[in-house]
């Protein structure tokens, strides 16, 4: 079979479109079109050395390690598909990442001072958008998850938030397939479908409106159409400017929640379940980085044990 790399990629994407969610397909397609095709379409030298060089070039260009690893995963799927249809022989490769590339990342969070300022505003100036931010600070929800909350998902009697949907805008742009739409769908992983206890403060804020809002209305919009994440991000950035809080991504609310849970010695497994991580190792890798004080405590404890 004589097919170009781009032809195999087109066949692979058409195959994937039949079996995965459109949101997943959009990610695969974007990584393939943006990074893989430019690197291998005209110079399809497919061996371990060329693939390692490709990964190194992405890291040297400043792309995050997650982006590079996701791209390698897509490349591996594409290569296996090409092997399956006889476009090329089996290509075995293992990509190695430098310790500097995979070292702990510093996730931006709100400082204590700015967190107190934000909370004070949220508690004194009600809007559905502000209620959503308050919920995120008390639960670590992702932006797509809070956009997907309907009033029926907030159970003030049992004191539970039912997280079962996520909202996102899907962009797909391929040669013969183009879509641009807002998707309301179940989360990608089973662990993201979860129940989170309502904090007392959030429960008190919700209760008066729970009686009058229609169960099918979305929390942020107050109607049957969800607010789009990009619209909510703009609202959040505008609010930070008004409160003279340094700009951070909306995701910093989730990081602030998780970081403070870990700093206050909350059980790692429970924090992981609340965040909807697929494994506790994800939580540990992201948020548990012992500092000098913690290391000293371990050494001191071990010294006391040895001296007994």
Contact 288, 206 (CB under 8 A): no
The structural domains of the chain, with segments of one domain joined by +, span: 5-84, 112-287
Q: Can you tell me the distance from the alpha carbon of 64 to that of 61, in angstroms, rounded to the nearest whole number? A: 9
Q: Can you tell me the distance from the alpha carbon of 30 to that of 35, in angstroms, rounded to the nearest whole number? A: 8
Is the domain defined by 5-84 classed in CATH 1.10.150? Answer: yes
Q: Can you tell me the distance from the alpha carbon of 126 to that of 128, in angstroms, rounded to the nearest whole number? A: 7
Reported as a single tens digit per residue, the pLDDT across 224-282 is 999 999 999 999 999 999 999 999 999 999 999 998 998 888 999 999 999 999 899 88
Task: Quote the distance between the C-alpha of residue 220 and its chain's center.
Answer: 20
pLDDT range class, residue 293, cuts 50, 70, 90: low
Q: What pLDDT shows up at residue 91?
A: 87
As assigned by CATH, the class of the 112-287 domain is mainly alpha
Higher pLDDT, 53 or 98: 53
Phi (first) and psi of residue 11, to 5 degrees = -65, -40
Lowest mean pLDDT among 118-132, 175-189, 214-228: 175-189
Does the pLDDT value for residue 285 go beyond 90? no
Closest to 283 (Cα-Cα) out of 298, 261, 264: 261
Does the pLDDT value for residue 308 go beyond 70? no
pLDDT range class, residue 292, cuts 50, 70, 90: low
Q: What pLDDT shows up at residue 199?
A: 93
Does the pLDDT value for residue 104 go beyond 60? no
Count of H-run helices and E-run strands, the chain: 14, 5
Whole-number average pLDDT of the chain: 90
Task: Quote the distance between the C-alpha of residue 22 and its chain's center.
Answer: 17
Q: Can you tell me the distance from the alpha carbon of 215 to that of 176, in angstroms, rounded to the nearest whole number? A: 40
Reported as a single tens digit per residue, the pLDDT across 161-192 is 999 999 999 988 877 678 899 999 998 789 99
Closest to 239 (Cα-Cα) out of 107, 114, 111: 114
Q: What pLDDT shows up at residue 246?
A: 95
Question: Mean pLDDT, to the nearest integer, of 67-88?
Answer: 94
Q: Which residues contact 128 (CB under 8 A, 6 or more apart)?
A: 219, 220, 221, 222
Question: Mean pLDDT, to the nearest integer, of 8-12?
Answer: 94
Question: Mean pLDDT, to the nearest integer, of 100-114?
Answer: 75
Q: Is the pTM of this model over 0.75?
A: yes
Higher pLDDT, 3 or 241: 241
Q: Can you tell me the distance from the alpha carbon of 198 to that of 2, in angstroms, rounded to the nearest whole number? A: 59
Question: Mean pLDDT, to the nearest integer, of 71-82?
Answer: 95
């Amino acid at each position: 079979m004589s097919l170009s790399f781009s032809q195999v990629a087109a066949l692979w994407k058409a195959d994937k479109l039949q079996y995965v969610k459109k949101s997943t397909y959009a990610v695969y397609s974007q990584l393939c079109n943006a990074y893989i095709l430019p690197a291998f379409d005209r110079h399809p030298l497919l061996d371990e050395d060329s693939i390692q060089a490709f990964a190194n070039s992405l890291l040297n260009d400043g792309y995050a390690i997650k982006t590079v690893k996701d791209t390698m995963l897509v490349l591996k799927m594409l290569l296996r598909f090409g092997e399956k249809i006889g476009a090329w022989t089996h290509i075995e490769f293992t990509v190695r990442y430098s310790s500097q590339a995979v070292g702990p990342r510093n996730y931006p969070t709100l400082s204590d001072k700015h967190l107190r300022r934000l909370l004070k505003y949220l508690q004194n100036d009600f809007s559905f958008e502000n209620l959503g931010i308050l919920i995120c600070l008390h639960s670590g929800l992702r932006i797509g998850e809070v956009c997907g909350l309907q009033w029926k998902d907030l159970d003030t009697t049992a004191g539970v938030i039912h997280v079962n949907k996520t909202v996102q805008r899907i962009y797909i742009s391929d040669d013969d397939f183009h879509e641009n739409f807002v998707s309301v769908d179940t989360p990608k992983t089973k662990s993201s479908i979860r129940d989170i206890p309502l904090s007392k403060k959030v429960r008190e804020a919700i209760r008066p409106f729970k009686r009058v809002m229609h169960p099918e209305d979305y929390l942020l919009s107050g109607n049957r159409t969800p607010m789009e994440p990009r619209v909510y991000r703009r609202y959040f950035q505008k609010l930070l400017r008004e409160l003279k809080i340094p700009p951070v991504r909306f995701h910093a609310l989730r990081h602030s929640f998780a970081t403070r849970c870990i700093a206050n010695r909350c059980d790692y497994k429970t924090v992981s379940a609340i965040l909807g991580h697929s494994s506790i190792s994800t939580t540990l890798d992201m948020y548990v980085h012992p500092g000098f004080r913690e290391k000293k405590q371990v050494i001191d404890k071990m010294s006391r044990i040895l001296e007994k």
